[in-house]
Structure 1
């Protein structure tokens, strides 16, 4: 009987551990609604008023805008990340550039870890990391409306064609092909 109790306790700990690991991810969202590149956030740790996270990317080949034409190579992604430390009142900007071929399958995890504020109040907004959704949210104090932080992960995604490296859309936003990492 003692062995069975120990076994159930062990299985319970494994299930709890698996559930906890699954709860560290946000849902898959689109970087840009008309392109099939999706992202999700993985909460890696919380220290003080900072939530650290990683970004995962994938292609939804069933999604809107997936290019099937033979001249389509895939997509370019420009992802500017801005981190603001509420303790030191200093910010840091990181620009990420990627090329992802349309044949890519699987999931790519950006190796860098980033942070955002766990909780802050400014200009009529409460900004916070929703630990259930694993995504930065914002509450408008005057109305009580809760929404995803609108300025979080402002990105550019564009189709890359073999006969034309990429449209000017991402070029004007800051994409630099010379700095782009090819996701394979």
Structure 2
């Protein structure tokens, strides 16, 4: 994330440049990151051209009530789940009228949650044409490092969708099959 003398990550700047070039917008749904994704995006110059807004859905019931995540899914698997992350991304995209939705959900610690160990994180991107990508992360370190790596990972996932898959009809759903480690 940000370092001394820098107010935003290169990934945030690159995401915004790609969105502006495409004439598209983004919205974020955040749980474990608690607004850090939105903070990174809005710290970059020109953010108002592409950022629609964000929802910090920390409580499980907010995920269902505000982001339209399936309540039965939440009851069955808990909030730390790839399908939950995908539904959060789709939900915020719809709610805020964005072209792209981002989502983060996971366990930053210090205790396990929903039977998942600390460092288990799911990041998701949902976009035009029912496109969706989900990544499962297995992160090590302190709470702050897990949260910052989650921000970096979701921005990189979106950047990949915006740049490497330009014009592709990506129907793949990686419901937690991938594992990114720092």
TM-score scaled to structure 1, two decimals?
0.26
Pair member with larger Rg = 1
State TM-score, norm by structure 2. 0.26
